[in-house]
């Protein structure tokens, strides 16, 4: 409290009104993989703001790697900023004691989307998922493998077989076979005038998913997409099969900017896609959808994302992707926007100020259509009082506020019940 010792007029600035809680960004992506440029920095996440900048740092002469195809697809579909981590020729997504991996993204707060394009082996999937689960402020976009011949394998998580003498001695051969398979596929694509028949040979890789399972494990911090898409290589101009994760991440960023994070990034055109590795039927998608796998299909004259599920499972409250991302957005926004509370006197005045600021933030979400309810009372609540802050918590320096939100969920199944109407009967109602 200021002291007044000399008679006179004093002017003081007093903080009044709410301290606005700004929404954090949700459209910044992070990509990890192998760059085309062998001299590009390895193990260092670099910010990239456009395709030209990526080409300058990571680009090569082609054919493009999965990482390059994904970053190009991200910017093509509406992405504006991303981080790229090159793991080099012999690196891995999980990283090692001598070679950094995906954990290098952990110090970058603005990342909200994570992808490892084309890395569909069990070890890589687990590394990406574990990273997102530990950070709790970002969601992974996963691919399912190329060349799936049995969709039932996507109902089971990918695993690896423990090393044996035979597998150990043949590991280098497996890698070589995988490289040959990739080269062969690239050669076919270069000379192709149209996409080849569906279900080409699966990509080989050490520790690749077996027929026992090709999906990621269950988690509410990741969404998985497929099949692969046909695109034009931005470097060579040839048709190539590409993992869809980069394009999907771009769609997420595009929808976030135009509608908001609460809008499901589905029923959206995948820009740059000219074909699909294979066409999924409605019954096949039903199998995938119930397992939390999102299909990319030719629908209504365009190649569209036709699903908005996480890998959490159908019984989970986090099964819808926009719900998971909305809560991650709200939690991080509130956390960053209320840092001013730290070290303030923990009393009723502080409780009222905190409650006022959080209510103002949630009111904006509600007015933007992110929360469900005809009134604020139906859409959200904030409780911060003597009940949530008993004396023992105050003595321990703990302030607790309870926040509840009713998220808008996507209209996934549209049902019209049609019946015959007899003119003059009392069952109809004019529009």
Same domain, 138 and 271: yes
Q: Do 61 and 188 fall within a single domain?
A: yes
Question: 341 and 354 in contact (C-beta within 8 Å)?
Answer: yes
Residues 295 and 237 in one domain: yes
User: Does the residue 23 lie in any domain?
Assistant: no
**Could you tell me which of 219, 315, 212, 223 has the C-alpha nearest to residue 264?**
223
Choose among 35, 33, 34, 31: nearest CA to 47: 31
**Residue 67 and residue 204 in one domain:** yes
The two tokens of residue 251 are 């769609």
CA 135 distance to own-chain centroid: 13
**What string of pLDDT tens digits covers the 431 residues of the chain?**
678 888 888 887 776 666 889 999 999 999 999 999 999 999 999 999 999 999 999 998 879 999 999 999 999 999 999 999 999 988 999 988 888 899 999 999 999 999 999 999 999 999 999 999 999 999 999 999 999 988 999 999 998 876 654 433 333 333 334 433 444 444 444 444 455 444 333 333 334 444 478 999 999 999 999 999 999 999 999 999 999 999 999 999 999 999 999 999 999 999 999 999 999 999 999 999 999 999 999 999 999 999 999 999 888 999 999 999 999 999 999 999 999 999 999 999 999 999 999 999 999 999 999 999 999 999 999 999 999 999 999 999 999 999 999 999 998 787 888 888 777 665 555 55
- Co-location of 311 and 374 in the same domain: no
Domain with residue 294: its CATH number is 3.40.50.11780
* Same-domain status, 234 and 367: no
Give the domain range for residue 263. Answer: 29-161+178-322
For 95-104, write each residue's pLDDT tens digit.
888 888 999 9
Beta strands in 53-208 (DSSP E): 82-86, 113-115, 139-143
The answer as to whether 300 is a domain residue is yes
Q: Does a structural domain hold residue 221? A: yes
Domain edge (last residue) among 322, 352, 373: 322
353 assigned to some structural domain: yes
Residue 251 included in any domain: yes
Q: Are residues 258 and 350 in the same domain?
A: no
Domain assignment of residue 260, yes or no: yes
Q: Count how many domains the chain has.
A: 2
One domain, residues 104 and 240: yes
Whether 5 is covered by a domain: the verdict is no
CA distances 428 to 355, 415, 417, Å, are 47, 18, 13
- Say if residue 378 is in the same domain as residue 270: no
Q: How many CA atoms, within 13 angstroms, populate the side-chain half-sphere of residue 305?
A: 28
Question: What CA–CA distances, in Å, run from 46 to 57, 91, 104, 106, 188?
Answer: 9, 17, 11, 13, 33
User: What is 401-426 written as a DSSP string?
Assistant: -EEEE-B-----S---------TT-T
**φ, ψ (nearest 5 deg) of residue 256:** -60, -40
For residue 155, give the 3-state DSSP assignment: helix
**Residue 120 sits in the same domain as residue 249:** yes
Q: Name residues whose C-beta falls within 8 Å of residue 423's C-beta, 6 or more positions apart in sequence.
A: none
| Alpha carbon distances (Å) from 30 to 70, 84, 302 | 11, 6, 27
Residues 237 and 297 in one domain: yes
Domain final position from 290, 322, 354 = 322
Boundary of a domain, candidates 293, 322, 351: 322
Q: Are residues 206 and 65 in the same domain?
A: yes
Instruction: Flag whether 310 is in a domain.
Output: yes
Q: What is the pLDDT of residue 119?
A: 96
């Amino acid at each position: 409290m200021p002291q007044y010792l000399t008679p006179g007029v004093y002017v003081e600035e007093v903080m009044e009104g709410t301290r606005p809680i700004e929404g954090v960004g949700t459209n910044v992506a992070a990509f990890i993989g192998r760059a085309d440029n062998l001299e590009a920095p390895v193990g260092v996440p670099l910010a990239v703001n456009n395709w030209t900048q990526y080409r300058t740092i990571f680009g090569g002469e082609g054919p493009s790697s999965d990482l390059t195809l994904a970053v190009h697809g991200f910017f093509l579909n509406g992405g504006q900023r991303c981080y790229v981590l090159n793991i080099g020729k012999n690196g891995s997504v999980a990283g090692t004691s001598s070679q950094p991996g995906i954990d290098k993204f952990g110090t970058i707060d603005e990342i909200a989307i994570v992808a490892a394009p084309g890395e569909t082996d069990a070890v890589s999937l687990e590394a990406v998922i574990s990273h997102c689960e530990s950070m709790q402020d970002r969601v992974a976009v996963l691919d399912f493998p190329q060349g799936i011949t049995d969709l039932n394998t996507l109902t089971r998580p990918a695993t690896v077989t423990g090393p044996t003498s035979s597998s150990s001695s043949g590991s280098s051969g497996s890698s070589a076979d995988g490289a040959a398979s990739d080269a062969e596929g690239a050669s076919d694509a270069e000379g192709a005038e149209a996409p080849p028949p569906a279900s080409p040979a699966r990509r080989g890789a050490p520790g690749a998913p077996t027929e026992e399972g090709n999906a990621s494990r269950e988690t509410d911090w990741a969404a998985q997409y497929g099949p692969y898409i046909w695109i034009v290589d931005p470097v060579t101009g040839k048709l190539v099969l590409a993992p869809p994760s980069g394009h999907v991440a771009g769609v997420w960023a595009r929808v976030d900017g135009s509608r908001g994070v609460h809008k499901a990034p589905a029923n959206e055109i995948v820009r740059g896609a000219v074909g699909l590795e294979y066409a999924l039927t409605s019954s096949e998608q039903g199998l995938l959808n119930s397992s939390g796998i999102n299909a990319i299909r030719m629908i209504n004259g365009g190649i569209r994302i036709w699903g908005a599920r996480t890998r959490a499972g159908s019984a989970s409250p986090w099964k819808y992707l926009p719900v998971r991302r909305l809560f991650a957005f709200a939690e991080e926004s509130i956390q960053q926007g209320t840092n001013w509370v730290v070290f303030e006197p923990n009393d009723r005045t502080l409780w009222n100020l905190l409650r006022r600021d959080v209510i103002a933030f949630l009111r904006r979400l509600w007015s933007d259509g992110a929360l469900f309810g005809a009134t604020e009372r139906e859409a959200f609540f904030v409780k911060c009082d003597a009940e949530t802050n008993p004396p023992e918590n105050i003595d321990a320096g703990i302030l607790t506020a309870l926040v509840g939100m009713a998220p808008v969920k996507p209209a996934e199944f549209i049902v019209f019940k049609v019946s015959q109407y007899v003119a003059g009967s009392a069952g109809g109602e004019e529009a």
